[in-house]
Amino acid sequence: MGEDVARDPECIFCKILEGDIPAYKLFEDEHTFAFMDINPLNDGHALIIPKDHHPNIFDTPTNVLAPLMETTQRIARAIQNSIAPDGINILQANGHGAAQSVFHVHFHVLPRKNGDDAKLNWGLRPGDMDHISDLAQQIRVAIKD
Ligand code: 5GP
Ligand code: ZN
């Protein structure tokens, strides 16, 4: 990691970036990192984060948001082309009232199923890790340059 990268030692996503806790990584580039959510709403639920720690969208500089959105699009396309959900929502939460639980800015790529009746506060239930690992591999091979 670059020496000028801003990290918060208490932040779970910074710990993933540091390699201190494991993640099913999908993609990374200079500014961004994409990985599977371990409490998925549906198959293929992924998260996109900047390598710098910024708590929410208010604090995130536009030169960080631009590559973040580029990677979000890249991952959304790969999920559509591999998992083929009925639809995809892109979601980003700011503050407890918006059900933000990790204060390192992130975009959810939320695959949707017809009739899943998903709520904005969908509740966190641990997924099956072997299944998430299989899905991650399907998505990885569908990522385009
Ligand atoms: P938020 O509620 O802040 O919008 O979303 C945070 C997301 O991070 C949740 O969907 C939650 O499942 C996910 N999450 C929390 N801790 C971990 C973790 O240690 N690893 C992974 N892969 N995802 C996590
Ligand atoms: Zn962080």
Phi-psi region at 23: left, alpha or beta (left = phi > 0; alpha = psi -120 to 50): beta
Select from 35, 57, 44, 29 the least CA-distant residue to 145.
29
How do the pLDDT tens digits run along the chain, 145 residues long?
A: 444 679 999 999 999 999 999 999 999 999 999 999 999 999 999 999 999 999 999 999 999 999 999 999 999 999 999 999 999 999 999 999 999 999 999 999 999 999 999 999 998 999 999 999 999 999 999 999 8
For a pocket test of ligand 1, which of 48, 124, 133, 135 has the largest count of ligand atoms closer than 8 A to its C-beta? 124
Which pLDDT score, from 0 to 100, does residue 2 have? 42
**Size (the chain), residues:** 145
Secondary element (H or E) of residue 48: strand 46-50
Domain boundaries, the chain: 2-142
Decide yes or no: CATH 3.20.20.220 for domain 2-142.
Answer: no
65 CB less than 6 Å from ligand 1?
A: no
Query: What is the 100 CA–ligand 2 centroid distance (Å)?
Result: 13
What per-residue confidence (pLDDT) applies to 113? 97
